[in-house]
Structure 1
Amino acid sequence: MTVTIGKEKVSLVHSSGSSAEANLPQHGIARISTWKWSGTDADNEEEVTVRFKLTDSEVPENLHKEWPKKFEIIFIVTLTANTLKNTFQVTNNGTEPFDFNALLHTYYSVPDISKVSIKGLNDITYIDKVENFARVLDVKDSITIDRETDRIYENVPRDEFLIDLGQPGGAGNFTLKKINLKDTVVWNPWIDKARSMSDFGDEEYKNMVCVEPGTVTEYIRLEAGKSSECGQILKVQL
């Protein structure tokens, strides 16, 4: 069994710490901008790497006016027989510092959401977006999904989690290791939300889950001329 990565997106949002200061779409500008191919590395048969680049010149004009910063993002995807590594490097090419958020929106295809459990986020406080942004301490050994779930686990000290698909012998289970990212989002739209989404099938919630490393509860401050690198490594049990 393989774990299908349905969508990989990098969010980049506004500066100065206040959402009111930039009229940007949900998840920022990198998600809806056109990236450029930036080359492939395949030095050996065991690993292949591809790169994509986004700069401020590729951002749609209306969005660039809202967030007129000079930047470059390199998004790197590396594949081996049982791992997928995503990293992105944000560089401030301007003369002043800017702030940004980052989140890898990773959709996992799963055989049956009722059997899935996510381990490694226990004893962490999360922001529950379904329950009016209430802050809740999660004391359970693992997360299971049986309703609409939209949680931001904040300042997660652990870097590695297990996504257990509930299959015989642990087939298809995989680990997620976050790199230089503070938070982790867990999301499934469930029945009513799935039906209300134009780009999501009514029954697709049964076969997917999002476990998304990012830094979203705070901004990342990036000084002029400096770079910040973040990412994740996924390793599947063969």
Structure 2
Amino acid sequence: MSETFIIRKLVNDDATATISDYGAHVLSYAPAGHEPVVWQPEAVYLASGSAIRGGVPIIFPWFNTGYDGGRPVNKKPKHGFARASFWKFDEANSDRAGHARYILDSADCEPELLRTIGCPDPRFRAVYDVTVGERLTMALTVTNTGSQPLVYEAALHTYFQVGDVERTVVRGLESAGYLDNAQDGVPYVEASGEAITFDGMVDRTYEVDGAVRIEDAVLGRTIVVGKSGAPQTVVWNPGEAAGDAIGDMNQGEWRGFVCVEAVARLDRGIALEPGATHTLTQTVSLA
């Protein structure tokens, strides 16, 4: 597998997108005639072993520092190794205009990373399909190719471009409670019935299905985020204090995005028997 940093561009009448083979990472997406919908920072840093900021990092096979047997653990790297791995570009099942397919196989992964998953002899084949048009569709399909059960966490950690996060509203989660990841102890908070607004850090894991709408007063548009195969939704923005402390972003760049993620984590992670397959999908469009 090549370890050269390659950026691929998909262009058609409906949209453009760029994707990095490193991390199978969607860097940008813009429907024709519109501002970009997927956010990237002013400078994108590419370094082996480091995750790319912005775009759509693939979180797999664990979220954050992991979860095992009903308790949090301390796995490294944070958010798993998929986003810092060179994926194989599947030329035969891709095209230059609207579809790209990437593959990450456990046979190509370092044994010490595989042992960190926490399952006996974990074996998998991850296939990531990105379809670009009026709608952006990203689908992560994992097959257990081993002889033992495979348990993993996954997410599509999508950064959405907004004019100003403090003038942005996220709707569709009003009836759901959430885990407040920004608070010590990660307390569960009952549903408030109110839309999400941003004044300081927001980092929440909602257990909810259905679409989410990102209403952007500055750019005058609504982004619709759908999903399947993901029992949870994470909403995140670091706010000013934490955002300005992020080393690979310039000060103030935190204002330009909000993350809404299709997620399967904690006790809602995916359990696959040998030979079984699961697909986690996220779709993005303008209303």
Would you say same fold, with TM above 0.5? yes
**For residue 58 of structure 2, what is the aligned residue in structure 1?**
10
Whichever residue aligns with residue 196 of structure 2, its letter is I
Q: CA RMSD in A?
A: 2.2
Q: 1:148-197 CA distances to partner (integer Å, 9 max, x unpaired)?
A: 1111112x0x32111111147xx431111111100011111111112322
Query: Which structure 1 residue ranges, 5 or more long, are not aligned?
Result: none
C-alpha displacement of 1:66: 2.9
**For residue 198 of structure 1, what is the aligned residue in structure 2?**
247
Higher relative contact order (CA 8 A, sep 6+): 1
The yes-or-no answer on 1:139 pairing with 2:187 is: no
Distance 2:113 2:245 in 1: 27
**For residue 162 of structure 1, what is the aligned residue in structure 2?**
213
Distance 1:99 1:15 in 2: 10
Distance 1:21 1:134 in 2: 18
**For residue 79 of structure 1, what is the aligned residue in structure 2?**
132
The yes-or-no answer on 1:125 pairing with 2:177 is: yes
Query: 1:173 aligns to what SS in structure 2?
Result: strand
Distance 1:96 1:61, change over 3 A: closer
C-alpha displacement of 1:23: 3.6
Q: 1:33-65 CA distances to partner (integer Å, 9 max, x unpaired)?
A: 21110135459xxx7111011011232343134
The yes-or-no answer on 1:26 pairing with 2:74 is: no
Distance 1:18 1:199 in 2: 33
C-alpha displacement of 1:199: 1.8
**For residue 232 of structure 2, what is the aligned residue in structure 1?**
183
Distance 2:79 2:150 in 1: 17
**For residue 278 of structure 2, what is the aligned residue in structure 1?**
228
Asked whether the 8 Å contact 1:119–1:161 carries over to 2, the reply is yes
C-alpha displacement of 1:97: 0.6
- Would you say how many aligned residue pairs link Structure 1 and Structure 2? 229
C-alpha displacement of 1:230: 1.2
C-alpha displacement of 1:107: 0.7
**Which stretch of the first structure deviates more once superposed, 141-150 or 5-14?**
5-14
The yes-or-no answer on 1:55 pairing with 2:108 is: no
Q: 1:84-128 CA distances to partner (integer Å, 9 max, x unpaired)?
A: 000011000100111111111111111111211111001211111
Asked whether the 8 Å contact 1:35–1:58 carries over to 2, the reply is no
Query: 2:265 aligns to what SS in structure 1?
Result: strand
Distance 1:18 1:201 in 2: 37
Query: Which structure 2 residue ranges, 5 or more long, are not aligned?
Result: 1-33, 41-54
Asked whether the 8 Å contact 1:29–1:59 carries over to 2, the reply is no
C-alpha displacement of 1:135: 0.9
Distance 1:22 1:117 in 2: 33
Q: 1:186-219 CA distances to partner (integer Å, 9 max, x unpaired)?
A: 1111111123221222211111110111111322
**For residue 106 of structure 1, what is the aligned residue in structure 2?**
158
Asked whether the 8 Å contact 1:34–1:59 carries over to 2, the reply is no
C-alpha displacement of 1:19: 6.0
Asked whether the 8 Å contact 1:15–1:99 carries over to 2, the reply is no
Whichever residue aligns with residue 234 of structure 2, its letter is V
Distance 1:179 1:102, change over 3 A: same
Distance 2:167 2:152 in 1: 36
Whichever residue aligns with residue 230 of structure 1, its letter is L
C-alpha displacement of 1:15: 8.5
Whichever residue aligns with residue 182 of structure 2, its letter is V
Asked whether the 8 Å contact 2:229–2:279 carries over to 1, the reply is yes
Identity of counterpart residues, as a percentage?
Answer: 27
C-alpha displacement of 1:27: 0.9
Higher strand share: 1
Distance 1:75 1:125, change over 3 A: same
